Chain A
């Protein structure tokens, strides 16, 4: 624990003034220069900044710069960044993350962490491993995620079935560029959850009973109760290119009356079909929701790498330094979509990010295991 003398108190006032001055300068820059442009810190600038920051490890803790590594400064910066994030978390379209005050505070935090590490390393003890895991890990993560993000490349690529594509649309600028990666889409496929059957109010399309809709799954032989009707699915039509449809037999539990007929949710070229219960209500089918969608692809890189595989949500494909994600499809056509949209990401700082994450994760375990101060 730090014991700071009265002169320490005084100098902390100086540090506080400097921090506030830097944040105010940030606001001034924001007004004068507009939002922060991350591309100005792209390689090699971020690497130079990193080298300078690492030099701070050598700074004397008691000197004017070294005192920026005090716990009071850490606390002050944490409070400032928390306030900025509160604004970010409440106000829509806030632009905080591209604002100068935010970026400068972020840099000050990095400087503070590196000075704290430098201070502690002078009294190195193995039993402080929890401290080192947390703080070095956090520094690596914050640096790579923050300053490294300037080197991130991200493109969307729309590929039609049976075609090859190598042009990508920059997700920020919308510009179309030739990429060093080409994708050939062999097949796009999609599994759906079974569509559901409901009684809807024809006047407003609301599901019955209002507010607490009663839905039943439709697959061959399924049965259920909706309101006073006991419903049985007699047969199902469900194949690519055709709108899902179900032949249902509904029995009214009160008067024993029976209704039977086809209902369908329709699709991009077939219209929907309902079965009237009364002038107001009818049986209808909801649109099936996607359960899983995936693309069978072959990927080529300029360097001659060839790789085939299946890309789906939560399961990207790595080709060289690129990661390829299943992003989207033609949502009007659903499972009959003739194209698949991929997101291609190249992040040269990803490995340090993961190293930082693993270190902080291990540090979190020490928090759990060692508990608070005694």
Chain B
């Protein structure tokens, strides 16, 4: 098994996932959508296992291999979250984002050309990054919800509050998990679990601003007012994710990519 055969597995999985999502929305059957999505996941997992065997090591070393795992885990966690919270759109969203990663892997595989520096070669690499990306996806969705409520008014959109809160709790849960995995990894790689390097500082700022949001109602701040925190927090999140390397404080940091 090698990367040349990826396209077949990927296409079969994608077809299963999309028809599965369609079935969730349109079909009256209680199990059809689930069965299709699970089958797609099994096909995809089959490729990962076969690739793992032929490589002789877990496929976590190159950029392309980590994207392969993203594509898988995004749909898996999207599905688990869907089973828990019944958000069909979240299932659709995770399949769509996964497809983007699959397409990147098909067009630009980067399977052996990328040299992974020794500090990145760790079992923590994939879960740390994957969990963060999932968290970003949830918090992005929560921000969209918040903007809709702030723009259109709260009257007919009370149901949104519950949805937004759920997304923020789930997203913050993933965010904290990603941060702590990063801490454990940093201890193994650099000898220190937390050094306040710029990426860590910004990760903390992001987490703290979402903590502000979830604690605000407990301090008597109304739901509508605290919604304003979310777009601000998401801007901070984007700086953490994409902007840190451009900041003066990050010059000379090794934690940028």
Contacts and interface: CB of A to CB of B under 8 A. Distances in A.
A292 B121 contact: yes
A365 interface: yes
Given A217-B113, A357-B180, A316 B188 contact: yes
Contact of B117 (A97, A289, A367): A289
A292 B168 contact: no
B165 interface: yes
A343 B249 CA distance: 25
B6 interface: no
Contacts of A4: 220
B187 to A, nearest CB: 8
Interface string A210-229: 00000101000000000000
A371 B85 contact: yes
A92 interface: yes
Nearest to B211: A78
Contacts of A82: 205, 208-209, 212
Contact of A71 (B165, B201, B209, B215): B215
A371 B118 contact: no
B162 A374 contact: yes
A262 interface: no
B219 A88 contact: no
B192 to A, nearest CB: 7
Interface stretch (B10-18, B31-39, B41-49, B171-179): B171-179
A314 B192 CA distance: 12
Contacts of B184: 354, 357
A241 B244 CA distance: 40
A79 B244 CA distance: 21
B183 A357 contact: yes
Interface string A1-21: 111100000000000000000
A75 B249 contact: no
Given A2-B220, A361-B180, A293 B118 contact: yes
Interface in B98-136: 112-113, 115-119, 121-122
Interface in A264-310: 289-293
A85 B240 CA distance: 12
Contact of B208 (A78, A353, A364): A78
B242 interface: no
A313 B121 CA distance: 8
Interface in A60-105: 70-72, 74-75, 78-79, 81-82, 85-86, 88-92, 94, 97
A343 B174 contact: no
Interface string B186-226: 00111111101010011011001101101111111100000
A259 B84 CA distance: 64
B166 interface: yes
B154 interface: no
A90 to B, nearest CB: 6
A145 interface: yes
A90 B249 contact: yes
A367 B192 contact: no
B205 A75 contact: no
Contacts of B165: 371-373
A313 B189 contact: yes
Contact of A368 (B169, B192, B202): B169
A289 B121 CA distance: 14
A141 to B, nearest CB: 9
Contacts of B192: 345
B158 interface: no
Nearest to A374: B162
Interface string B80-98: 0000110000000000000
A78 B176 contact: no
A341 B45 CA distance: 41
Contacts of A145: 193-194
B63 interface: no
Interface string A349-374: 00001100100110111111111111
A372 B170 CA distance: 8
Contacts of A1: 217-218
A193 interface: yes
Contacts of B217: 1, 373
A217 B208 contact: no
Given A88-B249, A89-B249, A364-B177, A72 B196 contact: no
Contacts of A97: 196
B211 A289 contact: no
Contacts of A74: 215, 218-219
A92 B248 contact: yes
Interface of B: 84-85, 112-113, 115-119, 121-122, 162, 164-166, 168-170, 172-174, 176-177, 180, 183-185, 188-194, 196, 198, 201-202, 204-205, 208-209, 211-212, 214-221, 244, 247-249, 251
Given A289-B115, A313-B118, 20 more contacts: A1-B218, A2-B218, A72-B220, A74-B219, A75-B221, A78-B212, A89-B201, A89-B205, A94-B249, A217-B113, A289-B117, A291-B118, A292-B121, A313-B121, A360-B176, A360-B180, A361-B177, A366-B173, A367-B176, A373-B165
7 contacts: A79-B212, A86-B205, A89-B247, A90-B247, A369-B84, A372-B214, A373-B165
